Structure 1
Amino acid sequence: MEQKTDYTTIAEMTNGIILANFEKQPLVREGTFQTESMLECKMKDDLISQGYEDVSIGTSEELLSNLKIQIEKLNKVTFTDDEWERFLLEYLDTPNDTMIEKTRKIQEDHVYDFTFDDGHLQNIKIIDKDNIYNNYLQVTNQISQMGSHKNRYDVTILVNGLPLVQVELKKRGVNLHEAFNQVHRYSKESFNHENSLFKYIQIFVISNGTYTRYFANTTAQNKNHYEFTCEWADAKNKTINDLEDFTATFFNKRTLLEILIKYCVFSSDNILLIMRPYQIAATERILWKIESSYQNKKYGTISAGGFIWHTTGSGKTLTSFKAARLATNLEYIDKVFFVVDRKDLDYQTMKEYQKFQADSVNGSKNTKELKVSIERQDNKIVVTTIQKLNEFIKRNSTHDIYGKHCVLIFDECHRSQFGEAQKNIKKAFKHYYQFGFTGTPIFPENSLGADTTAGVFGTQLHSYVITDAIRDKKVLKFKVDYNNISPKFKEAEMEKDYDKLKKLEKKMLLHPERIETVTKHILKVFDTKTHRNEHYTHKQKALHGFNAMFAVQSIEAAKLYYEEFTKQQATLQEEKRLKVATIYSFVANEEQSAIGEIADENFEPNALDSSGKEFLDKVIKDYNYTFKTNFSTNGDEFQNYYKDVSLRVKNKEVDLLIVVGMFLTGFDAPTLNTLFVDKNLRYHGLIQAYSRTNRILNKVKAFGNIVCFRDLENATRDAIKVFGDENSINVILEKSYDEYMYGFTDKETGKTIKGYEELCNEILERFPEPTGIVLDKDKKEFAKLFGELLKSENILKNFDEFQEKGSIISERLMQDMKSVYVDIREEVIKNNGGTNSKEIKDIDFSDIEFQIELLKTDEINLDYILALILEKSKEHKDIETLKDEIRRVIRSSLGTRAKEELVISFINESDLTSLKNTDEILTSFYVYAKKQKEKQIENLSKEENLKNDAKRFIERSVEKGFVSYEGAELDSILPPTSRRHGARETKKQMVLEKIQKVVEIFVGI
């Protein structure tokens, strides 16, 4: 393998904010006991010693007063009281501004044209992005703010008086999830209440002294999990965990301001993203390389560039996007080309660049558009495809752009970047600086003896490889199943020789019996692999579970498998059927540049043979019927089909996508957790394909599932060795069934990890009657043990052996355990919320992490419960026994607990014997529930004397599943209430809680 770069020298030369090689301060005693208060005081003292001003602020009013002083100082102005009130009203604290609007002001609209009372107009900025040292940093703690609850915040970092960073601390030894959960509780209770300046928070930092993480303040549901918090690190990806070390580095004044100003991205979807340390390090390396190459006149040579090796799934596109944008700020750079492969120019990339600079994206075949974009004087960035840029060069042998200083950034430097286009670019451009991003570089081992990534792009500037990403929990491990489900085809499945494979393809690998057997196996294991609960409807499965791709060897294989899925699913009930789609195309490629290359596919279906195109037409017709669309294989319509398939896979509307080459590289869908493989893969092609499944999403998604129908075991090990090392196999691949079932020793820590069987036996022995647990210490022990059991079971559910063995604990006892587990959690939450809890008051639960997300995978839906009521009533059970059994099932499920009394009252008031089938009991219940909902809304409106449009507001809240506290809607239905002594706020909170109870009962009905 090629020599890796020494980052220490590079980092020192770049003078970047990412340290070259962090050395821990010897005075820091990691693990020393410190209370939360001690951590808070120490952190404040450290920040003050780093140049932060210590300011005493206890209330929202004091925060606002300080803000006025800081904004005046930043802008060298003085506001009269009236002018300040108007500035707040017009811009800084506009009524009904959401958190998103506040973020937009920091990231995009940080300057406001304000007209003073004397008529003069002046630009007022809230943050100085041109000279970061003009910004003023303060630190305070224990600010108190009232929302639906009164909260006190730990440490607040003020930038020009605005609270942009909030730190929440827990004492050493407390689970860090506690701090994360507290941030989310404060977000609901007070951070975002009306006229709160805390809506300006950009970054949250959480720490228990020993471990520290940061994350963006965002409302995006898919980014709001603990899994999206991030560790700080140096250039060698060594994490900086201890709070004192973190404070000295991350909270260095320059570092923090650059992160806020340069290394945040506010996406076109209004999602705030904060770059991870390795992304910042790579961006800094590129900018340094451009600057040093310009100064030393190295431009136009391979020495003026380099490549970034960041593993698939680690966010390369965001890094390359940011590097391209920052390169446009360099005065001597005339143009920045962001170059992608045609099929990678996806909808999201286009949106981001169009937002940054209108008309910057050129994805069509027409080079005239590209020529116009290049020649425009008012834009420095051009987004185009490698194919189109190559065509432009061939048609324009002489052009002014070739003599200008141009940065070329390749989002994925593999495939076509090594061929004719690359040679033409280097020949045409005289003053180029060229950079490539790749998750799977081409090394001598997999290069076919030709070009390598370093040979084309230059030195490796930074790396963040798959072992780094797995260690940091930025991507998941792989669990690989090697299946030989039909022994008569084993010899063909093991064949590696390409020429022999082509001969065996039709005769053996595409044999109707094999196609039938593989399809049957996929349908059998699909719900298990994708965590789809058998009790759910198709809609609920898509909501809670994951989806999958099926990579096949050829277009003919895609055709046969698609037809076989259609045939086998015709006999299934509609709810059991998968929504299957397929996409493929063909275009003559440049010669393969490396071993393991996945054959390139583009938007050229017309190049298919007649049978392939005819079948693709049929597939798209089926797709149009399913999704009420109108695509075809003609021209741009096929590209639109590609985009629509991409979006529906990401939204889990497509359950299984059959592909040949498309979507196996570059496609990012966190909802995918399984790849079925009937295709020979090697080296970078194998890692790229597997990596479609290993994006982080939530706790339920424990790893990427790979189910192979070819013998890829040696190929998998070879690929891991190339892109990791000899010891990477245990890091990248999941442990075996036996290890998870019977336990294992962790090689890093030396700890013995209990297996599922031991956990089950222990909990059965210690808590045979979980509903009888009384003592608080026993509740804590049960919660800890049952949480470990849930995690172990969540992993084992992916193993076929586990499905055959079944659970050790009976279904009835498991229901009781889940019910007790949730009860304990609710008691703890009440206690933490400031309400005295009789049950739990003396035992500290702060080191317990409740695995609620894992409970949701087994939630029982209401339709299943109603069908169960009918079934049990037919067994002629007495009504009390029936109700006890139903209560047990309801309480074991988070989604149905609130509906317990509604269901029980339905049983009490219904003649169950008259209901003949499931449809009848469902209809009867939903009619009953609708009447009860109307009755409860009417009673609530009368009790609280709500205004006339209260019914509409509550109905809408039920539809959404939550009550909106922000905005004026909730206020508008309240009766006239005095604002003195917080009476109106108290009334508002009381009404909100009552409406929320109605919502919890009737949501989904």
Structure 2
Amino acid sequence: YQFGFTGTPIFPENALGAETTASVFGRELHSYVITDAIRDEKVLKFKVDYNDVRPQFKAIETEQDEKKLSAAENKQALLHPDRIREITQYILNNFRQKTHRLQAGNKGFNAMFAVSSVDAAKLYYESFRDLQKGSDKSLRVATIFSFAANEEQEAIGDIQDESFDVSAMNSSAKEFLSAAIADYNVLFKTNFSVDSNGFQNYYRDLAKQVKAKEIDLLIVVGMFLTGFDAPTLNTLFVDKNLRYHGLMQAYSRTNRIFDATKTFGNIVTFRDLEQATIDAITLFGDKNTKNVVLEKSYKEYMEGFTDANTGEARRGFVEVVKELEQRFPDPAAIEKEADKKAFAKLFGEYLRVENVLQNYDEFASLKDLQTVDMDDAAAVEAFKAKHYLSDDDLTALQAITLPAERKIQDYRSTYNDVRDWLRREKTSAEREKSTIDWDDVVFEVDLLKSQEINLDYILELIFEHNKKTKSKAELVDEVRRVIRASLGNRAKESLLVDFINQTDLDQIGDKASAIDAFFTFAQGEQQREAQELISAENLNAEAARRYITTSLKREFASDSGTELNAVLPKMSPLNPQYLTKKQSVFQKIAAFVEKFKGVGGQV
């Protein structure tokens, strides 16, 4: 007997004249379709956008007739320099938003760009290189394509089998790929080539670097669109006609489960694949599949909707923000445990819906609008041009109120405070007395981390703020606000405040010098406080420095094993005070490590 296992079976509708899965293997024994996998939380939904901001090319982008698409003049239109440049610029403008990299230092996710031909791959690769010249934050772009098959498939949505046969590549394609591999070799200090073994090794190494997020954007024609699993990849840009199994396979590169930040696979198409998408997901599911597989619209997430699958009513962003501002206008004033719980649930709901909306261009426009001076006509026109907005679109955006960034920082700070209070500060005795059940509260740590502000950013903020105002009190207030909203750096609050108060910031000439000055200061404080801790607790100096150094390297202190025991002053384990002393020393060292991890230097 032959048993066939496939995620995308060949039906008569998508057979393209070939045999079907049923004609080869017989009747279907069992099916587990994409809606089942989404229900079981094995894969994610898709959010599909047709980006149609190039009106002069709209006719060819919506064309479905393969013979027309294959015509020389239409191929030329799809590869027009203006179109290539506009699409490249759109990707560069929106890449960090789509891949959750808006916050400085956040690695977020990476993306793939599926194009129609080797010629298209070449033009896009060169366009990214040209448009990023002089940029200090260039995307790392790589490309790969197989040989004969890709060059034949132009307008067909099916994805041909990959081939490592170098002999089938024409000289132009070979020359381009050699140049792209040479760029890759410079980037990663490797030595791959276009010969058969060298190309296979390049393929393997490229797969590894994409999975490690060392490549930001991978341009492909057919390769990597089937069977390649990289959970860190969340976005697929598409400028090729896909359909049926080829479409599902390509889209599915993005919908692997990763963390709470990744809520769906992000598909941005520069051709109108709406009907092709609906046809494909209906073929591999059922008539209700569209409601399960495709993510809701921007309007639904803003205004709320009822989940067709579960019947659950989901509140929109506007309603959540309204309740947040009405119930908790001053988050610092929250004192009662019931209010802390209510706030934690509500702000968690805000973080979840905002995390989803970050992937929508309309929401990016709304956030960008907050920084525009509406009295500056030139700035308004530039904003409209950047986001492709009409006057009516702008008016609709202005009708929506977003909380000020400072208010969100205050909310994040309080959210972190409540989490710390619940995790560390509540004693077991208090927990027993409490009548509040916290079991239904989930702190969205992954979402907080996805918007984390790194230390370099905070130090650059200190430098910039000091240039504008010479008031250290105002600067300290601003830094406290920012750092308390940070999950990873809030333990460094006192260190940063001491740096501001003890440093002549006017003598610092640039941002890099501000960062260097802080680390020099922090390393000095680290040595001083380590010595104070060792003396005050009468610790074994050599063992304590060794234990603290190890803890700083791994960025946390551990009380398991015997390392900590060697640090303690001489005391019998049978002494009633031994465990109390051990716990007290451990907590102080743990706090020290939280404060100084990442600053380098010696203890």
TM-score of the two chains, using structure 1 as the length reference: 0.54
Q: Give the match for residue 132 of structure 2.
A: 569
Q: Give the match for residue 394 of structure 2.
A: none
Task: Please state which structure has a larger fraction of its residues in strand.
Answer: 1
In structure 2, distance between residues paired with 1:678 and 1:819: 42
State the secondary structure of the residue aligned to 1:844: coil
Q: How has the CA–CA distance of structure 1 residues 832 and 770 changed in structure 2, closer, same or farther, with 3 Å as cutoff? A: closer
In structure 1, distance between residues paired with 2:185 and 2:581: 51
Q: Give the match for residue 373 of structure 2.
A: none
Q: Is the 8 A contact 2:185 2:192 kept in 1?
A: yes
1:462 to 30, 35, 38: 30
Runs (4+) of structure 1 exceeding 6 A deviation are none
Q: Is the 8 A contact 1:306 1:459 kept in 2?
A: no
Q: Is the 8 A contact 1:828 1:845 kept in 2?
A: no
Q: Give the match for residue 604 of structure 1.
A: 165
In structure 2, distance between residues paired with 1:968 and 1:454: 63
Q: How has the CA–CA distance of structure 1 residues 612 and 865 changed in structure 2, closer, same or farther, with 3 Å as cutoff? A: same
Q: Give the match for residue 3 of structure 2.
A: 306
Q: Percent identity?
A: 55
Letter in 2 for 1:961: E
Letter in 2 for 1:654: I
Number of residue equivalences: 562
Q: Is the 8 A contact 1:306 1:461 kept in 2?
A: no
Q: Give the match for residue 882 of structure 1.
A: 475
What's the C-alpha RMSD, in Å, of the aligned pairs?
A: 2.3
In structure 1, distance between residues paired with 2:3 and 2:235: 34
Q: How has the CA–CA distance of structure 1 residues 886 and 831 changed in structure 2, closer, same or farther, with 3 Å as cutoff? A: closer
Q: Give the match for residue 897 of structure 1.
A: 490
Q: How has the CA–CA distance of structure 1 residues 822 and 607 changed in structure 2, closer, same or farther, with 3 Å as cutoff? A: same
Q: Deviations over 1:608-651 (max 9, x none)?
A: 10111111111111001111111111231211111111011101
State the secondary structure of the residue aligned to 1:551: strand
1:1004 to 575, 598, 602: 598
- 1:541-690 → structure 2 map (5 Å cutoff): 541-542=106-107, 545-572=108-135, 574=136, 576-587=137-148, 596-690=157-251
- 1:44-55 → structure 2 map (5 Å cutoff): none
State the secondary structure of the residue aligned to 2:441: coil
Q: Give the match for residue 300 of structure 2.
A: 739
Letter in 1 for 2:182: K
1:473: Cα distance to partner? 1.4
Q: Give the match for residue 816 of structure 1.
A: 410
Q: Is the 8 A contact 1:552 1:558 kept in 2?
A: yes
Q: Is the 8 A contact 2:539 2:567 kept in 1?
A: no
Q: Give the match for residue 515 of structure 1.
A: 84
State the structure with more CA Rg: 1
1:979: Cα distance to partner? 3.0
Which stretch has the larger CA shift, 822-831 or 576-585? 822-831
State the secondary structure of the residue aligned to 1:481: strand
Q: Give the match for residue 719 of structure 1.
A: 280
State the secondary structure of the residue aligned to 1:463: coil
In structure 2, distance between residues paired with 1:505 and 1:658: 22
State the secondary structure of the residue aligned to 2:428: coil
* Structure 2 alignment gaps of length 5 or more: 368-400
Q: Is the 8 A contact 2:157 2:240 kept in 1?
A: no
Which stretch has the larger CA shift, 732-741 or 863-872? 863-872
Q: Is the 8 A contact 1:485 1:518 kept in 2?
A: no
Q: How has the CA–CA distance of structure 1 residues 822 and 588 changed in structure 2, closer, same or farther, with 3 Å as cutoff? A: closer
Letter in 1 for 2:143: T
1:447: Cα distance to partner? 1.2
Q: Is the 8 A contact 1:306 1:458 kept in 2?
A: no
The structure with higher relative contact order (CA 8 Å, sep 6+) is 2
Q: How has the CA–CA distance of structure 1 residues 601 and 930 changed in structure 2, closer, same or farther, with 3 Å as cutoff? A: same
Which stretch has the larger CA shift, 773-782 or 991-1000? 991-1000
2:254 to 674, 679, 693: 693
* Structure 1 alignment gaps of length 5 or more: 1-303, 308-436
User: Given the alignment of the two structures, is residue 938 of structure 1 paired with residue 536 of structure 2, yes or no?
Assistant: no
1:982: Cα distance to partner? 8.0
In structure 2, distance between residues paired with 1:465 and 1:833: 48
Q: How has the CA–CA distance of structure 1 residues 508 and 596 changed in structure 2, closer, same or farther, with 3 Å as cutoff? A: closer
In structure 1, distance between residues paired with 2:548 and 2:176: 50
In structure 2, distance between residues paired with 1:802 and 1:772: 30
Q: Is the 8 A contact 1:549 1:672 kept in 2?
A: yes
Q: Give the match for residue 488 of structure 1.
A: 56
In structure 2, distance between residues paired with 1:833 and 1:689: 52
Q: Give the match for residue 376 of structure 2.
A: none
1:761: Cα distance to partner? 1.0
Task: Please state which structure has a larger fraction of its residues in helix.
Answer: 2
1:707: Cα distance to partner? 0.3
In structure 2, distance between residues paired with 1:515 and 1:907: 48
State the secondary structure of the residue aligned to 1:550: strand
1:959: Cα distance to partner? 2.6
In structure 2, distance between residues paired with 1:971 and 1:603: 58
In structure 1, distance between residues paired with 2:31 and 2:578: 56
Q: Give the match for residue 500 of structure 1.
A: 68
Q: Give the match for residue 963 of structure 1.
A: 557
Q: Deviations over 1:756-808 (max 9, x none)?
A: 01111111111111111222222222111111111110010100000111271
1:991: Cα distance to partner? 3.7
